[in-house]
Amino acid sequence: LGLIAGAPAQVLGELEARRLCSEELVAIVRHDDPLARPRSIPLRKLARRGFVMVLQGTFTNGLIVEACRKAGCVPKVLRRLESGEAIREVVRAGLGITILPAGYLGMRDPSLRAVRLTQPTPKRDVHVAWDQRSEPSAATRAFVEELKRAVQG
């Protein structure tokens, strides 16, 4: 049993998967960055900024790069890091901006701001998945239902 975020359909086709939610990706910037003022911004307006990005080869990186392509820009990647926590710390230090799911900002953090992206607004689906060759146990089915309720609540 696992959680998969942002996976394309061909990956999920090999698994039994249930969609839990869709997460909107946002620009995360320092509170004193000029981009922190508006509530939303067209993605192409980030083209000249330096990005701290997730690792290449991840589903989330693919979604971000594709959204930038649709906006007519290519992200200027300054560094890539494995964890959302590390990325936030680099952004907090003023060493770049990032695009991550809104939930990565965490509880109210006065030093960072999430800015909604438009034209396009990138999103990723989150699925719970398991091997389709095996029948899930009653406990697994109950856990999946609890996950769905928790995400909806």
Give Cα separations from 8 to 47, 77, 97 (angstroms): 25, 23, 26
pLDDT in tens, 11-52: 888 788 888 999 999 999 999 999 999 999 999 999 999 999
149 and 20 Cβ atoms separated by less than 8 Å:
no
Sign of torsion, CA 49 50 51 57? Answer: positive
- Written as one letter, the residue type at 88 is R
Phi, psi of 38 (to 5 degrees): -75, 155
Which three-class secondary structure state does DSSP give residue 120? Answer: coil
Instruction: Place 1 in a pLDDT band, splitting at 50, 70 and 90.
Output: confident
Which of residues 130 and 99 earns the better pLDDT score?
A: 99
pLDDT at residue 153 greater than cutoff 70: no
For 103, the enclosing helix (H) or strand (E) is none
- Written as one letter, the residue type at 73 is C
98 and 92 Cβ atoms separated by less than 8 Å:
no
pLDDT for 23 equals 92
Instruction: Place 137 in a pLDDT band, splitting at 50, 70 and 90.
Output: confident
pLDDT in tens, 46-91: 999 999 999 999 999 999 999 999 999 999 999 999 999 999 999 9
